[in-house]
Amino acid sequence: MEKVALKDSGYRLKKAKILHTKKMTANEKFFEIALRENSPLDHEPGQFIMVSLPGIGEVPISVCSSPVKRDSFDLCVRAVGKVTRSLHKLKAGDEIDIRGPYGKGFPIRILEGNDLLIIAGGLGIAPLRSLITYILDNRRDFGKVHILFGCKEPKEMLFGDELEDWNKRTDLHYACTVDRADPDWAGNVGVITTLIPGVDIDPIRTFAAVVGPPIMYNFVIKELLAKGIPENQILLSFERNMKCGNGKCGRCQIQNLYVCQDGPVFHYERIKNLSEAF
């Protein structure tokens, strides 16, 4: 068997350098990363990349920064497996390899001019941060913006400084809740669905973007439909196991869709009847 270099390989890696890291919670770490020669990643909000540590493995991670920032991009990584735990050990100056971006992100051109209701559960804030920061970078292109964020406990809250900033801004509405409060917590307590009825929206011109743990979707969607948001204006992003990112390896398949290529962002209307989706 002869081995030949393959220029067009879909598995080719790009070298990238970690510029900055920050421990966010017990399980999540923030990375700011630049490609060689600071060439732009050219992603859409909601897309993901494959992050490689050669010798250890490769994992799909959502990009959590706005494409407006072109010299570098951000990742927020939860340590749950071999590769992500190894990633957590890296620091500024270390190199990683990436490929991508992959998949279909949030349909920015469709969202422009409309109101947005952004709902993030836990780590779901990471992919949504790419959308939120994009919106803030292009604030005039969008109507009213509501951000609802929920997590289990206050200590699991990601991007705390930015949440504070969003809370102070007058050009968007922000609310958050925790499932379980601690003694220092003065805000809302309860699951994220409790925040939805109180949001003042015009459902016909509102698009909802929802990312969170699988369990959250059914409950949140029920509330959004009760609010009167049409099914084709609810956007969801799915988490699945992925190995190739090219719609081949089969792991991320939901019936006839491949999350890595057809998603990860889907219109609810398109996937509502797929039994393996939720």
Site for another protein in 191-220 (CB under 8 A): 213-214
Q: Which residue in the block uniquely carries the two structure tokens 């510029």?
A: 19
Amino acid identity for residue 190 in this structure: G
Using DSSP, state whether 170 is helix, strand or coil: coil
**Per CB under 8 A, 91 contacts another protein:** no
**Per CB under 8 A, 37 contacts another protein:** no
Shorter beta-carbon distance to another protein: residue 222 or 248 = 248
Shorter beta-carbon distance to another protein: residue 114 or 261 = 261
User: What DSSP designation does 150 have?
Assistant: E
**Cβ neighbour number for residue 10 with a 10 Å cutoff:** 10
**Per CB under 8 A, 247 contacts another protein:** yes
CB 68 within 8 A of CB 28: no
Using the rule CB under 8 A, give the single segment among 41-49, 50-58, 196-204, 227-235 that binds another protein. Answer: 50-58
Alpha helix stretches (DSSP H) within 104-241? 108-111, 125-137, 160-168, 214-227
Using the rule CB under 8 A, give the single segment among 12-20, 128-136, 153-161, 223-231 that binds another protein. Answer: 12-20
Using DSSP, state whether 220 is helix, strand or coil: helix
**Per CB under 8 A, 42 contacts another protein:** no
Residues facing 211 on adjacent strands: 120
CB of 29 to another protein, least distance (A): 15
Using the rule CB under 8 A, give the single segment among 41-49, 78-86, 133-141, 194-202 that binds another protein. Answer: 78-86
Amino acid identity for residue 175 in this structure: A
CB of 175 to another protein, least distance (A): 26
Q: In angstroms, rounded to a whole number, what is the distance separating the alpha carbons of residues 272 and 269? A: 6
For 231, the token pair is: 């099914």
Which spans of this chain sit near another protein (rule: CB under 8 A)?
1-13, 15, 52, 54-59, 78, 80-81, 84, 95, 97, 213-214, 239-241, 243-244, 246-251, 253-256, 261, 275-276
